Amino acid sequence: MKKILVTGGAGFIGANFIHRVTASGRYSVVNLDLLTYAGNSESLIGIDSDWHQLVHGDISDGRLLRQLLEAHEPEAIVHFAAESHVDRSIDDPGSFVRTNVLGTQCLLDAALAYWQAGHPAFRFLHVSTDEVYGDLGPNDPAFTETHPYQPSSPYAASKAAADHLVRAWHRTWGLPVLLTNCSNNYGPRQFPEKLIPLMMINALEAVLERGRIGRTYNVGGKAERSNLEVVHALCDLLDQRRPIEIDRRGLIRFVADRPGHDRRYAIDPARIESELGWQPQVDFEAGLARTVDWYLDNESWWRRIEDGSYRGQRLGLRGDSA
The secondary structure of 184-205, three-state, reads CCCCCCCCCCCCCCCCCHHHHH
Active-site position among 33, 58, 83, 131: 131
Q: How far apart are CA 296 and CA 290, in angstroms?
A: 10
Active-site position among 33, 58, 130, 262: 130
Nearest to 16 by CA among 95, 80, 92: 80
Active-site position among 114, 133, 155, 217: 155
Calculate the CA dihedral of residues 261, 262, 263, 269 and round it to 10 degrees: -160
> Is 4 within 8 Å of 77 (Cβ atoms)?
yes
Told to judge if 265 belongs to the known catalytic residues of this protein, a careful annotator would answer: no
Told to judge if 306 belongs to the known catalytic residues of this protein, a careful annotator would answer: no
Q: Exposed, middle or buried by CB within 10 Å (0-12, 13-18, 19+), for 241?
A: exposed
Told to judge if 130 belongs to the known catalytic residues of this protein, a careful annotator would answer: yes
Query: What is the residue type of 280?
Result: P
**Which residues have a catalytic role annotated?**
130-131, 155
